A and B are shown apart, each in its own frame.
Chain A
Amino acid sequence: DTGVSQNPRHKITKRGQNVTFRCDPISEHNRLYWYRQTLGQGPEFLTYFQNEAQLEKSRLLSDRFSAERPKGSFSTLEIQRTEQGDSAMYLCASSFSLQETQYFGPGTRLLVL
Protein backbone atom coordinates (compact mmCIF):
# COMPACT_ATOMS: atom_id res chain seq x y z
CA ASP A 1 0.00 0.00 0.00
CA THR A 2 1.62 3.21 -1.17
CA GLY A 3 -0.60 5.70 0.63
CA VAL A 4 -2.63 8.55 -0.76
CA SER A 5 -1.15 10.10 -3.88
CA GLN A 6 -1.92 13.45 -5.47
CA ASN A 7 -1.04 14.84 -8.86
CA PRO A 8 0.31 17.22 -9.79
CA ARG A 9 2.32 18.23 -6.75
CA HIS A 10 2.64 21.80 -7.99
CA LYS A 11 0.59 23.85 -10.42
CA ILE A 12 1.13 27.39 -11.61
CA THR A 13 -1.63 28.91 -13.68
CA LYS A 14 -2.86 32.27 -14.86
CA ARG A 15 -5.98 33.83 -13.49
CA GLY A 16 -9.03 32.72 -15.41
CA GLN A 17 -7.66 29.33 -16.41
CA ASN A 18 -9.18 26.02 -15.35
CA VAL A 19 -7.19 23.49 -13.35
CA THR A 20 -7.83 19.89 -12.34
CA PHE A 21 -6.20 17.92 -9.57
CA ARG A 22 -6.27 14.19 -9.04
CA CYS A 23 -6.27 12.16 -5.84
CA ASP A 24 -5.73 8.42 -5.61
CA PRO A 25 -6.76 7.16 -2.17
CA ILE A 26 -5.50 4.14 -0.33
CA SER A 27 -7.06 1.13 -1.99
CA GLU A 28 -10.25 -0.11 -0.33
CA HIS A 29 -10.78 3.20 1.44
CA ASN A 30 -14.36 4.14 0.67
CA ARG A 31 -14.22 7.68 2.06
CA LEU A 32 -12.33 10.45 0.34
CA TYR A 33 -11.97 14.03 1.53
CA TRP A 34 -10.72 17.28 0.04
CA TYR A 35 -9.30 20.08 2.16
CA ARG A 36 -7.73 23.44 1.35
CA GLN A 37 -4.87 24.90 3.33
CA THR A 38 -3.63 28.46 3.05
CA LEU A 39 -0.43 29.78 4.56
CA GLY A 40 -0.53 30.03 8.32
CA GLN A 41 -3.79 28.17 8.68
CA GLY A 42 -4.97 24.67 9.23
CA PRO A 43 -6.72 22.65 6.54
CA GLU A 44 -10.31 23.64 5.81
CA PHE A 45 -12.84 21.04 4.77
CA LEU A 46 -14.15 21.30 1.22
CA THR A 47 -16.05 18.12 0.44
CA TYR A 48 -16.14 14.39 0.93
CA PHE A 49 -17.28 11.24 -0.80
CA GLN A 50 -18.42 7.87 0.36
CA ASN A 51 -17.72 5.63 -2.59
CA GLU A 52 -18.93 7.64 -5.59
CA ALA A 53 -21.51 9.69 -3.66
CA GLN A 54 -20.61 13.24 -2.70
CA LEU A 55 -22.14 13.52 0.77
CA GLU A 56 -21.22 17.00 1.89
CA LYS A 57 -19.90 20.22 0.41
CA SER A 58 -18.59 23.15 2.39
CA ARG A 59 -19.89 26.63 1.81
CA LEU A 60 -16.26 27.41 0.93
CA LEU A 61 -16.81 25.45 -2.26
CA SER A 62 -18.09 28.03 -4.70
CA ASP A 63 -19.78 27.21 -7.98
CA ARG A 64 -16.37 27.36 -9.66
CA PHE A 65 -15.30 24.24 -7.77
CA SER A 66 -16.45 20.76 -8.65
CA ALA A 67 -15.33 17.38 -7.43
CA GLU A 68 -16.03 13.92 -8.73
CA ARG A 69 -15.29 10.37 -7.79
CA PRO A 70 -16.78 8.54 -10.74
CA LYS A 71 -16.09 4.92 -9.85
CA GLY A 72 -15.54 5.26 -6.16
CA SER A 73 -11.79 5.10 -6.57
CA PHE A 74 -9.78 8.18 -7.59
CA SER A 75 -11.21 11.67 -7.35
CA THR A 76 -10.73 14.89 -9.27
CA LEU A 77 -11.12 18.44 -8.07
CA GLU A 78 -11.62 21.06 -10.77
CA ILE A 79 -11.44 24.79 -10.32
CA GLN A 80 -12.86 26.86 -13.15
CA ARG A 81 -11.89 30.46 -13.88
CA THR A 82 -9.21 30.47 -11.21
CA GLU A 83 -8.71 33.55 -9.04
CA GLN A 84 -5.67 34.62 -7.08
CA GLY A 85 -7.51 33.77 -3.89
CA ASP A 86 -7.58 30.13 -4.97
CA SER A 87 -3.83 29.91 -4.38
CA ALA A 88 -3.41 27.30 -1.65
CA MET A 89 -2.40 23.76 -0.90
CA TYR A 90 -5.15 21.31 -1.79
CA LEU A 91 -5.05 18.19 0.37
CA CYS A 92 -6.76 14.89 -0.18
CA ALA A 93 -7.36 12.30 2.52
CA SER A 94 -8.98 8.90 2.65
CA SER A 95 -10.33 6.60 5.33
CA PHE A 96 -11.73 3.10 5.46
CA SER A 97 -14.91 4.11 7.23
CA LEU A 98 -16.60 6.93 9.09
CA GLN A 99 -14.81 6.41 12.38
CA GLU A 100 -11.42 5.56 11.02
CA THR A 101 -8.37 7.74 10.70
CA GLN A 102 -8.00 9.97 7.67
CA TYR A 103 -4.71 9.49 5.86
CA PHE A 104 -3.48 12.52 3.97
CA GLY A 105 -1.70 12.80 0.67
CA PRO A 106 1.23 15.18 0.03
CA GLY A 107 -1.03 17.86 -1.43
CA THR A 108 -1.12 19.88 -4.61
CA ARG A 109 0.18 23.42 -4.26
CA LEU A 110 -1.63 25.82 -6.58
CA LEU A 111 -0.34 29.27 -7.45
CA VAL A 112 -2.59 31.54 -9.47
CA LEU A 113 -0.79 34.46 -11.09
Chain B
Amino acid sequence: AQSVTQLGSHVSVSEGALVLLRCNYSSSVPPYLFWYVQYPNQGLQLLLKYTSAATLVKGINGFEAEFKKSETSFHLTKPSAHMSDAAEYFCAVSSSNAGKSTFGDGTTLTVKP
Protein backbone atom coordinates (compact mmCIF):
# COMPACT_ATOMS: atom_id res chain seq x y z
CA ALA B 1 0.00 0.00 0.00
CA GLN B 2 1.16 3.52 -0.67
CA SER B 3 -0.03 6.97 0.34
CA VAL B 4 1.00 10.60 0.18
CA THR B 5 0.39 13.45 2.58
CA GLN B 6 0.97 17.01 1.48
CA LEU B 7 1.24 19.31 4.46
CA GLY B 8 -0.49 22.62 3.83
CA SER B 9 -3.19 22.88 1.21
CA HIS B 10 -2.27 26.53 0.59
CA VAL B 11 1.13 28.16 0.66
CA SER B 12 1.70 31.85 0.00
CA VAL B 13 5.11 33.41 -0.61
CA SER B 14 6.40 36.72 -1.86
CA GLU B 15 8.07 36.96 -5.24
CA GLY B 16 11.75 36.18 -4.79
CA ALA B 17 11.24 34.23 -1.56
CA LEU B 18 12.01 30.58 -0.93
CA VAL B 19 9.35 28.09 -1.91
CA LEU B 20 8.96 24.99 0.28
CA LEU B 21 6.17 22.50 -0.38
CA ARG B 22 6.06 19.51 1.92
CA CYS B 23 5.36 15.91 1.01
CA ASN B 24 5.51 12.78 3.14
CA TYR B 25 4.92 9.35 1.72
CA SER B 26 4.23 5.83 2.81
CA SER B 27 5.21 2.83 0.75
CA SER B 28 5.80 -0.83 1.53
CA VAL B 29 8.39 -1.11 -1.23
CA PRO B 30 11.11 1.27 -2.44
CA PRO B 31 9.20 4.18 -3.89
CA TYR B 32 9.32 6.25 -6.99
CA LEU B 33 8.39 9.82 -6.13
CA PHE B 34 7.16 12.61 -8.33
CA TRP B 35 6.19 16.24 -8.20
CA TYR B 36 3.73 17.57 -10.75
CA VAL B 37 2.41 21.07 -11.41
CA GLN B 38 -1.09 21.79 -12.64
CA TYR B 39 -2.29 25.09 -14.03
CA PRO B 40 -6.03 25.86 -14.15
CA ASN B 41 -7.97 23.65 -16.55
CA GLN B 42 -4.86 21.82 -17.66
CA GLY B 43 -3.34 18.42 -17.16
CA LEU B 44 -0.37 17.62 -14.96
CA GLN B 45 3.16 18.50 -15.96
CA LEU B 46 6.08 16.61 -14.44
CA LEU B 47 8.49 18.81 -12.48
CA LEU B 48 10.86 16.11 -11.29
CA LYS B 49 11.08 12.49 -10.22
CA TYR B 50 13.08 10.29 -7.87
CA THR B 51 13.74 6.70 -8.92
CA SER B 52 16.43 5.52 -6.46
CA ALA B 53 19.37 7.32 -7.98
CA ALA B 54 20.63 10.60 -6.48
CA THR B 55 18.66 11.70 -3.43
CA LEU B 56 18.73 15.36 -4.51
CA VAL B 57 16.72 15.66 -7.68
CA LYS B 58 16.73 18.71 -9.90
CA GLY B 59 13.77 19.47 -12.08
CA ILE B 60 12.47 22.04 -14.46
CA ASN B 61 11.91 25.73 -13.74
CA GLY B 62 14.49 25.79 -10.94
CA PHE B 63 12.71 23.32 -8.66
CA GLU B 64 14.44 20.58 -6.75
CA ALA B 65 13.49 17.98 -4.17
CA GLU B 66 15.39 15.84 -1.70
CA PHE B 67 14.49 12.25 -0.90
CA LYS B 68 14.95 11.53 2.80
CA LYS B 69 14.22 7.90 3.55
CA SER B 70 14.57 8.28 7.32
CA GLU B 71 11.91 10.99 7.31
CA THR B 72 9.85 9.47 4.48
CA SER B 73 9.81 12.91 2.93
CA PHE B 74 10.23 14.39 -0.52
CA HIS B 75 9.87 18.14 -0.07
CA LEU B 76 9.92 20.46 -3.08
CA THR B 77 11.93 23.67 -2.99
CA LYS B 78 12.81 26.60 -5.18
CA PRO B 79 15.21 29.31 -4.00
CA SER B 80 13.36 32.25 -5.51
CA ALA B 81 9.67 32.28 -6.38
CA HIS B 82 8.42 33.76 -9.61
CA MET B 83 4.90 34.95 -10.33
CA SER B 84 4.59 32.22 -12.96
CA ASP B 85 5.08 29.57 -10.26
CA ALA B 86 1.57 30.20 -8.95
CA ALA B 87 -0.25 26.91 -9.55
CA GLU B 88 -1.28 23.70 -7.83
CA TYR B 89 1.41 21.18 -7.00
CA PHE B 90 0.95 17.48 -6.50
CA CYS B 91 3.27 14.95 -4.94
CA ALA B 92 2.84 11.34 -6.07
CA VAL B 93 4.26 7.94 -5.21
CA SER B 94 4.44 4.75 -7.18
CA SER B 95 6.55 1.64 -6.95
CA SER B 96 8.70 -0.32 -9.33
CA ASN B 97 6.22 -3.18 -9.43
CA ALA B 98 2.99 -1.20 -9.70
CA GLY B 99 2.53 1.36 -12.42
CA LYS B 100 -0.28 3.35 -10.89
CA SER B 101 0.55 6.49 -8.97
CA THR B 102 -1.03 7.64 -5.72
CA PHE B 103 -1.35 11.39 -5.41
CA GLY B 104 -1.59 13.78 -2.52
CA ASP B 105 -4.42 16.28 -2.32
CA GLY B 106 -2.25 19.06 -3.67
CA THR B 107 -0.85 22.37 -2.47
CA THR B 108 -1.92 25.62 -4.04
CA LEU B 109 0.99 28.02 -4.29
CA THR B 110 0.25 31.74 -4.38
CA VAL B 111 3.03 34.18 -5.22
CA LYS B 112 2.54 37.77 -4.04
CA PRO B 113 4.21 40.63 -5.89
User: Which residues of A come within 8 Å of B, CB atoms?
Assistant: 4, 31, 33, 35, 40-45, 48, 50, 55-56, 91, 93, 95, 98-99, 101-107, 109
B109 at the binding interface (Cβ < 8 Å): no
- Is A41 within 8 A of B41, CB to CB? no
- Is A106 within 8 A of B46, CB to CB? no
User: Which residues of B come within 8 Å of A, CB atoms?
Assistant: 4, 9, 32, 34, 36, 41-46, 49, 51, 90, 92, 96-97, 99-106
Q: Which of B51, B90, B96 contacts A43 (CB 8 A)?
A: B90
Q: Summarize B's interface: helix, strand, loop or mixed.
A: strand
- Is A99 within 8 A of B100, CB to CB? no
- Is A42 within 8 A of B103, CB to CB? yes
- Asked whether A91 and B96 contact (CB < 8 A) given A45-B101, A101-B49, the answer is no
Q: Which of A41, A102, A103 contacts B106 (CB 8 A)?
A: A41
**Chain A nearest Cβ from B11, distance in angstroms:** 15
In whole angstroms, how far apart are the Cα atoms of A93 and B101 in the complex? 11
